[in-house]
């Protein structure tokens, strides 16, 4: 069969489902919605499983036709043909997995428990297909004479290595074990996520005495009262483990016992036995990863993962962490002494504990800098902050954002904006989803409902989404963000720009290594608090007046305060992740004992818990296993990249912005990220800008 015939066969395979329900299932129809977005109101939980089964069946048929093709393997009839397969399945999965993160419910969770093993087995069926692998391998071995473009060479490399790293070169007996490992891992991953969500949402601290609210800002009290009323606890105040609830409580509540109770609830999630405990899951997953890595010929899971990252191996990751850990720990110890001294004024003879750190940090910051975080919140109304992020992107890249009314959304508070190029051409859509809900997991992330690529010679326009858990509106006040939440909004928006700007031909070259993917997001944070940028958006929610220069100056002066704590708590989690994934023995671990030994080895001080403890370390149960270090690796890149703008004396220098978009944001994973960065910056990154920015030098 000729190349054109293979491609045509893949694109014209019939619908395989015989179920009459397919006629009313939105996944079996063209979406005639604005911009072709998912018709959320029409999609029901019962539609997903039939759609997944149909998608799997279609891709199986596509792959079978490809593997059985008679024509000699070529880049087009093998690598591109495989790249084009699975579009029905991808469309189904993009909606489903976005909803299970942002708007799940028991029905979706039940579907997820059934779908994940199906998907795991389906991936194995493709990547362990011997005939298909032989065709891919033949193209790989002939690559020197194919005269491929850089993105084509990258797609070929990723495809071939993807098969090898999935076990295609293993013996049949080894592949049987690989399938079993993958299937078990997929089930454990779903179980971990379900338990973590349940444990997080189950914690409630009800306050019924007004005096126990002493020290709390008005907005925090109002939000707690609204949460209590929603929970049928009228006249009381409800605090949860959602970020906008727990962190202000720890920073401002004078009641030390209640601070201890809520932080203990946070730190002991999934660690108290019962149906939300995850210790056995963590132990089992890490054991399976050791076995899988060694089955594939790697010493540890970290060696397996980091081979594809900029760090290349554990030595590279540990090397960077060690450079920053030591100065950060020294700064944190100095901060501890300051906090202990402040605490001695209130509680002579008492020792500083983890639940005291944020409270006394606020007191010290106010004393040293005459700066109170609450003073800036009225200038950070969420809509203005979002508009500020949009304005920065407009000044850098010439793009515009216009809200699209009446477009399908998956939850009533979600908003959608059309993004256009400077000349008015449609670039894509961005959904924003900013506040906590019972069915939304914690944290903040960016994802896509439709990724950009070139299909039949025409660009597929992206649909991206930013999902966060920010302070919600309270009473007649809009949502007023903390400075950390402002930076998070800019951060996730940076990921959104990366998704919108990708201009590659292939879906398979869109993704970047974990330790590079945070560069586009983290670099945006640098603009958020610059005085020049604050003038664009930081206006009082009542008066509309710009943030006073004196307050801006105080905020900037206090900017590096607490960086010892922030860097150490993050890096402790990064080191814990690396220690878990440099295990060489697959024997089960006592999770608590392993964690304790790891943190003791690095000298973490008792007053600072790691940002994530093992039982609720969701990052390393998913895509950031042996990769949580990537935030600090990318922080080196983003600090150095932002310095390029500062060196020009213009935070919006057009030439620098155009080069950053062309060499970083639009390229995705089409080329080696180190090469892309060098083309943007003219050299390799330097660590000094990061150390200076964080006050660690």
3 state SS for 139-162: HHHCHHHCCCCHHHHHHHHHHHHH
Look over the chain and give the mean of its residue pLDDT values, rounded to a whole number.
95
Mean pLDDT for 289-300 is 98
Distance CA 517, CA 673 (A): 9
Question: Where in the chain are all domains bearing CATH 1.10.1370.40?
Answer: 3-169, 378-557+631-693
Q: What is residue 238's predicted lDDT score, i.e. its pLDDT? A: 98
Range list of H helices, 171-278: 172-202, 218-230, 243-252, 256-267
pLDDT at 354: 98
For the segment 417-441, the average pLDDT, to the nearest whole number, is 97
**Tens digit of each residue's pLDDT (9 = 90 or more) over 454-491:** 999 999 999 999 999 999 998 889 999 999 999 999 99
Backbone φ and ψ of 324, nearest 5°: -100, -30
**Residue 6: its pLDDT value, please?**
38
CATH 3.10.129.10 fits 275-371+564-628, yes or no: no
Query: Positive or negative, the Cα torsion across 271, 274, 280, 281?
Result: negative
Write the pLDDT tens digit of every residue in 241-269: 999 999 999 999 999 999 999 999 999 99
CA 233 to CA 228: how far, in whole Å? Answer: 5
What confidence tens digit (pLDDT) does each residue in 644-683 have? 999 999 999 999 999 999 999 999 999 999 999 999 999 9
Q: Active-site positions?
A: 492
Position 15 scores a pLDDT of 42
Alpha helices in 562-672 (DSSP H): 563-580, 591-602, 618-621, 630-647, 654-660
pLDDT band for position 697 (cuts 50, 70, 90): confident
CA 290 – CA 365 distance, rounded (Å): 45
CA 179 – CA 123 distance, rounded (Å): 10
Asked if residue 69 has pLDDT above 80, the reply is: yes
User: For tokens 């994940």, what's the residue?
Assistant: 116
CA nearest neighbour of 595 among 325, 260, 303, 267: 267
Angle between helices 243-252 and 218-230 (to 10 degrees): 140
Of 3.90.950.10, 1.10.3720.10, 1.10.3210.10, 1.10.1370.40, the CATH number of 378-557+631-693 is 1.10.1370.40
pLDDT, tens digit, 9 for 90 and up, residues 630-646: 999 999 999 999 999 99
How far is Cα 487 from Cα 471, in angstroms, rounded to an integer? 13
- pLDDT (0 to 100) of residue 474: 83
Kindly tell me if the per-residue pLDDT of 399 is higher than 50.
yes
CA 623 – CA 71 distance, rounded (Å)? 37
pLDDT digits (tens, 9 = 90+) for 559-610: 999 999 999 999 999 999 999 999 999 999 999 999 999 999 999 999 999 9
Contact residues for 379 (Cβ-Cβ < 8 A; gap 6+): 534, 538, 539, 540, 541, 546, 547, 551
Q: With a cut of 60, say whether residue 347 has pLDDT above it.
A: yes
Instruction: Dump pLDDT digits (tens) for 10-61.
Output: 433 434 444 555 679 999 999 999 999 999 999 999 999 999 999 999 999 9
- Sequence-separated (6 or more) residues with CB below 8 Å from residue 40: 408, 409, 410
- The pLDDT of residue 576: 98
Mean pLDDT of the region 495-515? 97
Q: Where in the chain is the domain with CATH 1.10.1370.10?
A: 275-371+564-628
pLDDT attached to residue 256: 98
Determine phi and psi for 460, rounding to 5 degrees: -85, 120
Distance CA 298, CA 317 (A): 16
Q: How far apart are CA 355 and CA 649, in angstroms?
A: 42
Helix (H, G, I), strand (E, B) or coil at 481: coil
Chain-centroid distance, C-alpha 131: 36
Place of tokens 């203990």: 264
What pLDDT sits at residue 92?
A: 98
Contact indicator for 470, 434 with CB cutoff of 8 Å:
yes
- d(Cα 619, Cα 580) in Å, to the nearest integer? 13
Given a cut of 70, is residue 5 above it in pLDDT? no
At the topology level, CATH places domain 3-169 in: 1.10.1370
Provide the pLDDT confidence category of residue 312 given band limits of 50, 70 and 90. very high
What is the arithmetic mean of pLDDT over 149-166?
Answer: 98
As a whole number, mean pLDDT of residues 106-118 equals 97
Inter-residue contact 165 to 304 (CB < 8 Å)? yes
């Amino acid at each position: 069969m000729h190349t054109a015939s293979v491609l045509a066969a893949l694109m014209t395979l019939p619908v395989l489902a015989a179920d009459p329900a397919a006629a009313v299932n939105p996944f079996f129809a063209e979406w005639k919605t604005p911009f072709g977005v998912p018709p959320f109101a029409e999609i029901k939980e019962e539609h997903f499983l039939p759609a997944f089964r149909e998608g799997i069946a279609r891709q199986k048929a596509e792959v079978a036709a490809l593997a059985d093709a008679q024509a000699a393997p070529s880049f087009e009839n093998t690598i591109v043909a495989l790249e084009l397969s699975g579009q029905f399945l991808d469309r189904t999965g993009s909606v489903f997995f976005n909803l299970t993160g942002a708007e799940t419910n028991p029905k979706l969770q039940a579907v997820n428990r059934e779908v994940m093993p199906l998907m795991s087995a389906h991936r194995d069926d493709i990547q362990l297909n011997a005939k298909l692998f032989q065709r891919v391998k033949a193209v790989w071995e002939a690559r020197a004479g194919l005269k491929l473009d850089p993105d084509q060479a990258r797609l070929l490399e990723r495809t071939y290595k993807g098969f090898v790293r999935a076990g295609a070169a293993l013996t049949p007996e080894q592949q049987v074990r690989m399938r079993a490992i993958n299937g078990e891992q997929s089930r454990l991953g779903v179980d971990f996520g379900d338990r973590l969500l349940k444990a997080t949402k189950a914690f409630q601290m009800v306050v019924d005495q007004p005096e126990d609210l002493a020290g709390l800002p008005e907005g925090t009290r109002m939000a707690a009262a609204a949460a209590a009323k929603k929970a049928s606890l009228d006249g009381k105040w409800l605090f949860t483990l959602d970020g906008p609830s727990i962190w202000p409580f720890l920073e401002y509540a004078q009641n030390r016992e209640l601070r201890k109770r809520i932080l203990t609830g946070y730190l002991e999630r999934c660690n108290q036995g019962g149906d939300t405990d995850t210790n056995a899951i963590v132990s089992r997953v890490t054991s399976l990863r050791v076995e899988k890595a060694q089955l594939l010929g790697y010493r540890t899971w970290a060696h397996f993962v980091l081979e594809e990252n900029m760090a290349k191996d554990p030595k590279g990751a540990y090397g960077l962490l060690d450079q920053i850990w030591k100065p950060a720990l020294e700064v944190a110890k100095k901060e501890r002494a300051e906090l202990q001294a402040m605490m001695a004024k209130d509680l002579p003879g008492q020792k500083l504990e983890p639940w005291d750190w944020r409270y006394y940090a606020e007191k010290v910051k106010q004393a040293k800098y005459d700066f109170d975080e609450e003073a800036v919140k009225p200038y950070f109304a969420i809509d203005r902050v979002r508009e500020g992020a949009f304005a920065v992107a407009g000044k850098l890249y010439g793009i515009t954002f216009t809200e699209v009314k009446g477009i399908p959304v998956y939850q009533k508070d979600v908003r959608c904006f059309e993004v256009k190029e400077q000349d008015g051409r449609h670039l894509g859509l961005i959904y924003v989803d900013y506040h906590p809900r019972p069915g939304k997991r914690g944290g903040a992330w960016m994802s896509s409902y439709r990724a950009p690529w070139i299909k039949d010679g025409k660009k597929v326009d992206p649909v991206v989404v930013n999902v966060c858990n920010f302070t919600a509106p309270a009473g007649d006040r809009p949502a007023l963000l903390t400075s950390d939440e402002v930076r998070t909004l800019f951060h996730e928006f940076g990921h959104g720009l990366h998704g919108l700007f990708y201009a590659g031909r292939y879906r398979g070259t869109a993704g970047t290594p974990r330790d590079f993917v945070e560069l586009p997001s983290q670099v945006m944070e640098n603009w958020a608090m610059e005085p020049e940028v604050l003038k664009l958006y930081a206006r009082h929610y009542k008066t509309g007046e710009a943030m006073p220069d004196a307050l801006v100056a105080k905020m900037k002066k206090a900017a590096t305060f607490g960086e010892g704590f922030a860097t150490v708590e993050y890096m402790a989690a990064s080191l814990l992740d690396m220690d878990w994934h440099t295990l060489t023995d697959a024997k089960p671990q006592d999770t608590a004992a392993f964690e304790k030994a790891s943190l003791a080895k690095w000298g973490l001080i008792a007053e600072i818990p790691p940002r994530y403890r093992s039982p609720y370390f969701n990052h390393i149960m998913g895509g950031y296993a042996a990769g949580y270090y990537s935030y600090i690796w990318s922080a080196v890149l983003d600090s150095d990249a932002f310095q390029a703008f500062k060196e020009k004396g213009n935070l919006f220098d057009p030439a620098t912005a155009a080069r950053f978009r062309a060499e970083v944001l639009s390229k995705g994973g089409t080329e080696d990220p180190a090469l892309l960065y060098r083309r943007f910056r003219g050299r390799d990154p330097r660590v000094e800008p990061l150390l200076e920015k964080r006050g660690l030098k």
